[in-house]
Each structure stands twice: as structure tokens, then as C-alpha cells.
Chain A
Amino acid sequence: MQIKEAPELYDVIIVGSGAGGGMATKQLADAGLNVAVVEAGPFFDPADPKTMTQLKWPYESPNRGAGTTRAFGGWDMAYGGWEIEGEPYTHEPGTKFDWFRSHMLGGRTNHWGRISLRFGPKDFKGKTRDGHGDDWPIGYEDVKPYYDKVDKLIGVYGTNEGLENDPDGFFLPPPKPRLHELFYINGAQKSGVPVIPGRLSMLTKRINKDRGVCFYCGQCSRSCSVYADFSSGSCLIFPAQKSGGKVKIYVNSVVREVTTNAEGKATGVSYVSKDDLKEYKLKGRVVILAASACSSARILLNSKSKQHPNGLGNSSDHVGRYLHDSTGASRAAFVPALMNRKVSYNEDGTGGMHVYSPWWGDNSKLDFPRGYHIEVGGGMRQPNYGFGFNANEFNKFFGLNVGGYGDVLRDDVKKYYGSVVHMAGRGESIARKENYCEIDPTTVDKFGIPVLKFNYRWSDLEVKQAKHMQDTFEEIIHNMGGEPLGDKPSADIDYGLLAPGRIIHEVGTTRMGDDPKTSVTNKFNQLHDVDNVFIVDAGPFTSQADKNCTWTILALSWRASDYIIEQLKQQNL
């Protein structure tokens, strides 16, 4: 079979259209470059009524919103999931990693939680801080100007609190707390756990004429049809096209490898079209990978050539290594003081928390390094599949019968509606060389491309962090006058520490550093080995913080884009 090569030479080929790819598209197209975006999934516009799930009612679907085909519920706007038919991944026996992929224009930005936290000064200097892991080759001062620009371009609500490691920014005003959030504030503060307004990328106030303002349906996970939340398509790629940028989008195109020439420089990419299962080639002066940390590592490792026998950018043998996800553990509570609620008002709010707890601990007094933040959930939410299960389970706290049938069930449902509060800890794990993904030569996906094999184990440090989370949750529940639900996760299940990958903050597979022997990219997200290849997803993260990674992906992608523009001007690429 002959591989079909498009005649056009693009200035830049961007693989992936999520946060990193979207930002690079916007910056490079705005700079007048001719950009090709290659996306493995279909076109998606949150405003298209055909694909829209926002404001749907459960009864519009025969399964009432059950998550049978979408892991986070039937209305969730991520095409893909933990398992995708025909696109497997494997594991080293005895290790765990769950890999969430979303193949569509905008990728996982269409459904993410929009929690938008800057890394703080300490987060870039982990080794200096406590001896664990490595320092980034850059510091907060390098990224701050870009965080500022991202805040203003995309919009994030929050407040300037003057906290050392949770920096101030350019925030839109936050929404007022919901009822259960007031209980959380009181409960947490009693234990000395600070609570501040949430920081999420939803427009509580207009930022430009092209995007709408939040109308408080609480459904950002369904991707906002008036563009009042941050999704990569609606906020970056479409605006880049609208302002006259040259952006050609190739959808349903699964990139197999980066192609190189005799000098070892990248010449473009080859991809398999999902429409006809044929292989195609695109030519570009610069290739930017933004396919997600693990997918980009996979592309590099599969890009073997005479010049790059170990895979592209992998002379250090570090591609795929230092893979790490946030730690995560959670607990829910029944709060009797939240029973018998008036349903007189709409409590949907924004599609996420209005308040949260940034890390407060003093590690010198703790048995683990780094920290975690606490996310809080609850309230009178839209009923969907699962609503009313075990309708009167909380009767057990009052010595009443559980179960039964008849009119009493209606009363029970209403009595307990909105009386559960959830807390979830999201913390920083230590990046380790021993945790990695690699190519599994024994398995290919349905496009014939070798797949990833994961090898990942938590260490005691992460387990101890989870234990601290559980102790904290229980104390806060007690302070709220609540009853913790289920047994407290114990040591034999790592205190409820979720499997790596489950928090979907996987980073580090192409980490940046000054030394080409121990890192894959330099401080401008550029491969040490090949100067016209850049990685702008979370792969270059030297370490994850106890923060969600998206805001830093956006800032670093913008920074790398500025560098690319400059280098092209100087004809260095």
C-alpha cells in the first residue's frame, strides 16, 4: 500500500487538540503561521444541538443518564473512557495504571472539572524543598507572566488570598457558597483546615464578546454551548479560525509516528485515517505533540528510525519514565443538619465547587512530603440514573428499618435529598524513574499501531498521604455533625488511594530538564535530540503539584509557542 502524502508544507503540525494543542493552535495561528491540527477523534463543537447534552433531562434517554457508554454518566462530554474498543493498553503484572482517553476535538477539556490552579513557587522546586524528585529547570517567575495571560484570555473565577504557594492571579469573582459548602467551611475551619473560594475556569462575568456568561446549570462536564466554560475548541481553536488564522483540522486521524529525514530532523507525521483505514503523511517544518502525556510518549517511542533507533527524542531512554498522576482518595458523609431541605430554589450553581481547601500542612511534622487540596461536592443535584438508590439507607442512623415499600419511600427520598457531602483529596505524588510506560511489542491497536504497557506502583509516601486525607475527612465530617458513609478505608486497601491514572492528571513522560541525559525536553518544551519537535501536553512536567495540571499545560504551551515563533523568525528551526 502506498502512503498518501499531502503536497502542502505546513509551518506547524500539532498532534492533539486538548488544552496544550488548542493553546499552541491559537498562538501560532494568531502569529500568522500555517497550522495543521491532527485529532484522533471527530469534530466537536459544544454549541452544536446535535451533540449537545447540556440541559437534557434524564428521561430524554432510555437509560436515564446511566454511564454505560460514558464513564462519568450518560451526559458527560468525553468520547472515550478508561477502555476503548480496539485500542487496548497492557500492564506489567502486579502493577496498575488506568488510562482515560477522550478522542474528539478539544479532547478531555470538554468534560474536565475546570479546576484551574496555578503551581506555586515551591511546586517548581521539589528537590530543593524536601529532597524528593527533581527541580524543574524553570521557576514560578518564568511561568507567572503566562499564567496571567491565560487567566485573562480564558477566564477563571477565584480570589486573591496572598497565599505563598497558591499564587494570586487575575480572577473573575467567585459564586457564593451553596448550603452544603457552608457546612463544609464551618467543619473544616474548626479543624484548622483553610477554605477559600474555588478557582475554576467558568465565566461568572463576561470576558469578551464571543463567549457567553455562566447561567448556572452546573453542567460544565457536558461542555457549555454558550462557551461560558473553558473547552479547547470553543475557547482556542474556533477563535483562532475566526480571527482569520490558517488552521486546517484533520479529524479522525490517528498519528502513528513523527517522520524524520536523513539528518534526523522531523519532517512531519504519518497518520491512519479512521474513515478509510489508510495511512497518510503530512509535512511540516515543526511538529508539536499534544496528544496527552502518554499518547505523545507512545508516538515518540513508535517513531523509530536509523537516526533514532530508540524512538524519537529518546537517546536518554527517559521517554515514558517519571509517569505520575495525582493521588486521590475520598469520603462521603450524611449530614443530618442538611435533612428536610426546601426545594424552593435552584442550587445547580457552576459545574463544580464554589469553595475548596488549598494545602495547609506543615510537612516537617508529617510523615509524607508534599500535600493535597480538598474538593467538596454535594447539594440538590439533577436526578439521574442511581438517584434514590438505597433511598432510606440513612434510616440506620436513627434505628429505623431500612428498605420496605410504599408511600414512605417518597418521604424518605425527599427527607434525605441533598444531605450528603463528599470530600476528595487530590495530592502530589513523587515522580519516579521506576514508574513508566513503554511500547508493548506484542500488542497493536486496531490501526496496527503498537500500544503502551504500563508499569506503575505507588510508594509508601503516597499511601501515607491518603491516610492523612482519610483522617482529615473524618475529622471534618465529625465537625459537621455528620456520619461518615461506609467503613473507613483501611491500610489493606491503601486507605482508599485510587489506582494511578484514576485522577486523570498523568504527567511527566517527557520531562523537561537542563541535562539531556536525564530529561527528554528542555525548558522550552523542545526535544533535546530534535530541535523541531516540541511537546506541549503534560509530558514535560518535571513534577506534578497538588494542583490540577491544565492551567500549567496552557501556560507552558503558550510559552513554548512564543519560543517557536521567535526561533522561526531567527530561522533556527
Chain B
Amino acid sequence: MDRRKSIQTIIMGAGASALMFHGCKTDTDMDVPVASDNNAYFGRTPEELERIEKLKAIQLFNEHEMETITLLSTIILPPKEPHGGPIEAEVPEFIEFIAKDIPELELTLKGGLMWLDHQCNVLFDQEFKTASVDQQKQILDTIAFQDVEIPLDEQPLEIQFFALMRNLTVTGYYTSKVGIADLGYKGNQPNIWDGVPQDVLDQHGVAYDPEWIAKCVDQSKRNEIAEWDENGNLLT
């Protein structure tokens, strides 16, 4: 395979470090993909790329709406060191895009933003974004806690709106570089799975069955070509 490259050192998870302790050096020979030199593709088909460009050319939320979305996202998930918040995670840009990508979201978002300003005008004679933090929270507290016994789509629009904004903010943050760092997710990189670390097994009160584990892959032999006897017993 031309596109394959072998690397000697990789960042390994805790499960694999135990292996390195027991194993030999060649265990770390791995076939890993070569990154694209043009990240603009991110694996899209030409039709998908065209669609994305079309959506990007449309401006769905006006400046005022974007300011309100930005403000609201940072109230929902306030920035926190060292991994920032919705702005560093480009949550407002993501919300602008996703509401075009999934058009069913648009009305709930636009209608909800209008409701926020209307409610704020009625109560405090000003737009939501210019109200004081206390005033903003006073309004949000009326819509931020949904009744779990009633399906969301049967609850008032403003409650649906807030639930949607919260979902989009949280998902937008935790799918960003800073959010994934905040979560601590260790995957999406080449590694060698060799089971759950002992301290994690202990924490959750479970253990591996030795008989089961005896059947599992011996990662120190992963690069030896498989051979079997005529009964299907692995020899290598």
C-alpha cells in the first residue's frame, strides 16, 4: 500500500502503556492514514461541497439576532479557563449554519429570539441583549426548566426555543476543539486497545473474566500474519 506509513512512536492510551511494558518495540509499528493536504474537503462529495457553499452564502440571522444568540450561548455555557466557552468554540457561527442545514430549526430559533425581546420589552422596556444580567436571568428562569413529564413539542414555543438553544450551545461547544479538550475525550487517534485500565475497572466494580481475556488478541503479536490449523485454532 502506497498511502500507508508506519510510525514508531504514537500517543497511546493507558490501556496500551501496560502493553508497551510487556511487549517488544515492534509492537508500535502501525499503519496509519495519511492526512489530506487540503482540509477543505473533509471528505465531502462535490455535491455536498456545493450545498455547503450555497448555505454559507445565505445570511439567516441578522446582526441583532446574531448578537442575541452569542449572548445567550455564553449565558447558557459561560466561558471557563482553560477551555474557553461558546465564542472560542464558534457556537454562534455553528448555529447560523445548522439552522440552514436543518431548516426545521429556523422558525423555533427566530420565533424564540422575537419572544425574548418581546418579553423583555414588556417587563423591562428594552431588548434582551441590553437588559441587565439579573433581568435576563429573570426571563430565562421562566423558560429554562422544562416539565419532563410533557413531551417538549407540546410545551410553549419559548420553552422549546430555550431547550433548542441549550442543545445547540452544548453540542456546538463539545464538538469544538476547546470543548473536546474540556471533555477530555482521548480517542480519534491511532492507538492499541488492550482493555479497560485496572483503576477504571475498580472504580466501577467490575473485573475481566480470565477465561474470556485468554481468548482475546495478544497485541504483541498483532503484526504476525495469522495462520491456523485445520480446526481453526490460531497458530500465530
Contact = CB atoms under 8 A, between A and B. Distances in A.
Given A49-B35, A173-B215, A403-B145, A346 B225 contact: no
Interface stretch (B57-65, B107-115, B119-127, B174-182): B174-182
Given A63-B97, A386-B171, A391-B167, 13 more contacts: A52-B33, A63-B101, A176-B196, A183-B204, A226-B33, A343-B183, A344-B197, A347-B186, A383-B171, A384-B175, A405-B144, A406-B77, A410-B80
A404 B190 contact: no
A-B interface, 5 closest residue pairs, ranked by CB to CB distance from nearest? A212-B31, A49-B36, A343-B184, A53-B43, A388-B170
A343 B171 contact: no
A213 B27 CA distance: 11
Given A64-B172, A346-B15, A206 B43 contact: no
Contacts of A176: 193-196, 208, 213, 216-217
Contact of B200 (A160, A345, A390): A345
Contacts of A391: 166-167, 170
A215 B30 contact: yes
A346 B31 contact: no
B222 interface: yes
B67 interface: no
Contacts of B170: 387-389, 391, 409, 413
Contacts of A65: 175
A534 B193 CA distance: 42
Interface in A23-63: 42, 47, 49-63
Interface string B17-34: 000000000000011111
Interface in A345-401: 345-350, 380-391, 393, 396, 401
A170 to B, nearest CB: 5
A442 interface: no
B177 A59 contact: yes
Chain A: number of interface residues, binned into ranges: 35 or more
A206 B223 contact: yes
Given A172-B226, A345-B13, A403-B144, A205 B196 contact: no
Interface in B202-236: 203-209, 212-213, 215-218, 221-226, 228, 232-234, 236
A211 B226 CA distance: 12
A136 interface: no
Interface of A: 42, 47, 49-66, 68-69, 75, 79, 148, 152, 155, 157, 159-160, 168-179, 182-183, 185-186, 197, 204-213, 215-219, 222, 225-228, 337-338, 341-350, 380-391, 393, 396, 401-407, 409-410, 413-414, 417
6 contacts: A160-B232, A171-B234, A172-B234, A216-B192, A381-B187, A383-B180
Given A47-B3, A388-B170, A215 B175 contact: no
A383 B183 contact: yes
Nearest to A393: B148
Contacts of B87: none
B76 interface: yes
B1 A226 contact: yes
A210 B191 contact: no
Contacts of A159: 215
Interface of B: 1, 3-4, 13-15, 30-39, 41-43, 45, 47-48, 51-52, 55-56, 75-78, 80, 90, 93-94, 97-98, 101-102, 140, 144-146, 148, 162-163, 166-167, 170-177, 179-180, 182-197, 199-201, 203-209, 212-213, 215-218, 221-226, 228, 232-234, 236
B229 to A, nearest CB: 10
Contacts of B55: 62
Nearest to A385: B171
A212 B232 contact: no
A56 B51 CA distance: 20
Contact of A409 (B77, B97, B192, B223): B77
Contact of A210 (B1, B77, B216): B1
A432 B61 CA distance: 53
Contacts of B188: 55, 57, 217, 219, 348, 382
Contacts of A414: 183-184
Contacts of B234: 171-173
A405 B43 contact: no
Contact of B3 (A61, A170, A225): A225
A168 B234 CA distance: 12
A380 B30 CA distance: 23
